[in-house]
Structure 1
Amino acid sequence: MRYTDVAIIGGGLAGSTAAAMLGRAGIPAVLIDPHPVYPPELRCEKIGGEQLDLLRKTGLAEPTLRATTLDGEVWEARFGYVVAKKPSDQHGIMYDTLVNTVRAQIPPSVETIFAKASAIASSGERQKIEFANGDALSARLVVLANGLNIGLRHTLGIQRQVISQCHSVTLGFDVEPAGRSAFAFPALTYWPKSARARMAYLSLFPIGGKMRANLMVYRDMTDPWFQQFKQAPEATLRAMMPGLARMTGGFKVSGPVKIRPADLCVTEGHLQPGIVLVGDAFATSCPAAGTGTTKVFTDVGRLCNVYIPAWLSTDGMDAQKISQFYDDPEKVDCEARCRAKAYHLRSLSTDHGLPWRAQRWARFMVRLAQGTRHAIRKRLLARSNGPQRSAGSAGQPQHGKLA
């Protein structure tokens, strides 16, 4: 029997971040995951905005961001025309690269056990974890960060409730220009023309030397459209977004097309002594809403910076202690915002009602006004600095520029 203060089950983004944070804080911890190297998986492929601030609170930002690709500027388009060109802090990175980069920051003091946890016996003092190979580990606290793997949680009476089945579907693939070395845009977000497309948006952004595409749609997985997309992705994209070629020119989809449906789920029976759930293990998010890493960094940041040090400073690990984390105002607010954004974006993208149609047009007009103001400011600045071409303007198609 081995002993530790904190056992983390699951070595994805949530578990690896927790292991790195606890190890750097000098808290005895063990990370449990069957994969020595995290395998490729279609999940988060870019981080930006408030996620960067949350990442910095973990203390892991600097080396993590070095592994990403910053786009610097994103073009926003609708109806086949660019309506805005905005500064952007989007950092593109494949999910397995992100997880393995975070894992590389776990200090040697944190032991990693490459095994599958098969059972947990919990109590208000210590928790016993049994492995499939017959070994066992005793810990004061177990952090369940094993994402969508529900088997272990079921043995504890923790149940998952699906509140929106197949809420959204993500398609991930690479694209490359035909007959040219690069696209004209640094990054592009293309919004659908109407709700009939059953699409949230198409996002094109760089990762390394490739242009990555995330297409977010709202369709049932039995829809023959998915098979059609796999067989003829370029033609399907053009049919869905007739004006896309105005920005991209000729293009082709390179490499495999990966498809991931996402259910919105919540957890019941999770308040138990000695066990705390983080990330997708507690509640899932909608990839189209782009809030997955927001939830992970909020959960792990609050848990490792605030609650675990306080819990370990006193005896016991009863359910009352654990409830402090679930009731944390920042966590509760984050969960509510992420869920509300998921439902709002789906209705905004697919609802045919007049109020939602008005909102779509309002968003378009706001982005157009913002883009026009930004373009005017850039021109005035360029004039004040003397005649010069703006960076990245060479080779941009005239039809892609703001009026």
Structure 2
Amino acid sequence: MKHTDVAIIGGGLAGSTAAAMLGRAGIAAILVDPHVVYPPDFRIEKLAGPAQLGRFRATGLADSVLRKATPSGQNWIARFGYVLDKGPSEQYGLLYDLLVNALRDEIPPGVERIVAKAVAVTASEDRQRIVLSNDQTISARLVVLANGLNVGLRHGLGIVRRIESAAHSISIGFDIAPRGRAGFPFPAMTYFQERARARIPYISLFPLRDRMRANLFAYREVDDPWLRAIRRTPVEALDAVLPGFRRVAGDYAISGEVKVRPADLAVSSGHQQPGLVLVGDAFRTTCPVTGTGSDKVFTDVERLCNVYIPQWLASQGMGEAKIAAFYADPLKQACDAWSMRKAWQFKSVSIGTGPYWLAQRWARFGVSFGRGLKHRLAGADAPAGAHSSSSSSSSSLSSSA
């Protein structure tokens, strides 16, 4: 049996960040994940905006990780075939597996990494017992469950995942390239919906190394025929829902695999147990359209590793009262509530058909137009590398303005 202070189950964004932070703090930890190298996974593809990047930097890991990403200092905002704004934006393109593996590179040698799955956890107010798929056993004072959407282990602990909105949104990712030209006229762009009935809130284009990446979002049923069309004939399907997009982007081609991922809004119950804490999607999911998934992960892990774990380990026991303090943390609760509000509000303002929602869409159009006018009256487009509150916030996959 291996003994440690903290056992982290799951080596994705939350688990790898936690392992790196605890290792840097000199806290004994073991990271359990079945992958030696994290495999490709269609999730986060961009980090953006001062708020989200500020949360990332609070972990102490951002600067070294972001050196491996593709930066963009300006983001165009467009709608109805017209460019409304060319605003400053601090954003970084980085595929999810590259992001996670970059974080793993920051894990100090003192953190042991075990390539296996956790198959059972027994929790108590003193030490926790974790049984692994390779027949090893770990004894830890605290278990951090960072295994995302994998619910089997949590079910064994009596933790229930309740779906609040099934297939709340659909995320679509693909590579896009200009036809007959060396490049697109924009460094990065967010193109917003043209009509509510298309149920497409926006598409985000951003550089990813030597190519342009596109993240398109939809509020549609998983069996919608349009989702089959976007896989088979993506250019035609995109033109059908955003006819003005071509006016800004010019002629274009879509290459490679078109990836499609539905996202549920779900929350855990029965999670407040001694010796066990849930972070990231293991606790609560959010909507990729709104750009809050990474914010929640970085907030959860930063509060847990910088504040609560050092406090908990300083005294005997790991009772439920200790664990409850993390879930009651004001910054965590505020971030959770904000992400859920945005999930519902963004969907309503994107597909609502009443006069109120129509007015909301035009108001947002007016804000973007006014911001662009302000930039033009200032004399020039914002310089690359400038930072502004007008920069887009990152979603679980890309950004929304």
TM-score normalised according to structure 2 size: 0.94
Match of 1:32 in 2: 32
Match of 2:361 in 1: 360
1:266 partnered with 2:267: yes
Letter in 2 for 1:178: R
Letter in 2 for 1:249: G
- State the shift of 1:143 in Å: 0.0
Whole-angstrom CA distance in 1 between matches of 2:61 and 2:231: 37
- State the shift of 1:245 in Å: 1.0
Match of 1:175 in 2: 176
Whole-angstrom CA distance in 2 between matches of 1:243 and 1:144: 45
Which blocks of at least 5 consecutive residues in structure 2 are unaligned? 385-401
- State the shift of 1:55 in Å: 1.0
Letter in 1 for 2:111: V
1:18 partnered with 2:2: no
Whole-angstrom CA distance in 1 between matches of 2:103 and 2:333: 25
4+ residue stretches of structure 1 with deviation over 4 A?
Answer: none
Whole-angstrom CA distance in 2 between matches of 1:239 and 1:169: 17
Partner of 2:201: helix, strand, or coil?
Answer: strand
Which blocks of at least 5 consecutive residues in structure 1 are unaligned? 383-389, 392-403
- State the shift of 1:133 in Å: 2.1
Whole-angstrom CA distance in 2 between matches of 1:61 and 1:132: 33
Letter in 1 for 2:321: Q
- State the shift of 1:56 in Å: 1.0
Whole-angstrom CA distance in 1 between matches of 2:343 and 2:365: 19
- State the shift of 1:62 in Å: 1.1
**What is the alpha-carbon root mean square deviation over aligned residues?**
1.3
Whole-angstrom CA distance in 2 between matches of 1:197 and 1:74: 24
Match of 1:320 in 2: 321
1:374 partnered with 2:375: yes
Whole-angstrom CA distance in 1 between matches of 2:145 and 2:9: 5
1:250 partnered with 2:254: no
- Superposition pairs of residues 17-166 of structure 1, within 5 angstroms: 17-49=17-49, 50-166=51-167
Which segment drifts farther, 307-316 or 221-230? 221-230
Whole-angstrom CA distance in 2 between matches of 1:134 and 1:104: 27
Whole-angstrom CA distance in 2 between matches of 1:102 and 1:262: 24
Whole-angstrom CA distance in 2 between matches of 1:241 and 1:199: 8
Whole-angstrom CA distance in 1 between matches of 2:156 and 2:179: 53
Whole-angstrom CA distance in 1 between matches of 2:243 and 2:259: 23
Whole-angstrom CA distance in 2 between matches of 1:237 and 1:344: 24
- State the shift of 1:247 in Å: 1.2
1:6 partnered with 2:43: no
Partner of 2:110: helix, strand, or coil?
Answer: coil
Q: Percent identity?
A: 56
Partner of 2:341: helix, strand, or coil?
Answer: helix
Larger radius of gyration: 1
Residue deviations 1:28-55 (CA, integer Å, cap 9, x gap)? 0000000000011111111122111111
- State the shift of 1:25 in Å: 0.2
Match of 1:399 in 2: none
Whole-angstrom CA distance in 2 between matches of 1:250 and 1:80: 13
Letter in 1 for 2:116: A
Residue deviations 1:308-355 (CA, integer Å, cap 9, x gap)? 000000000000000000000000000000000010000011110110
Match of 2:398 in 1: none
TM-score normalised according to structure 1 size: 0.94
Letter in 1 for 2:231: K
Partner of 1:378: helix, strand, or coil?
Answer: coil
Match of 1:240 in 2: 241
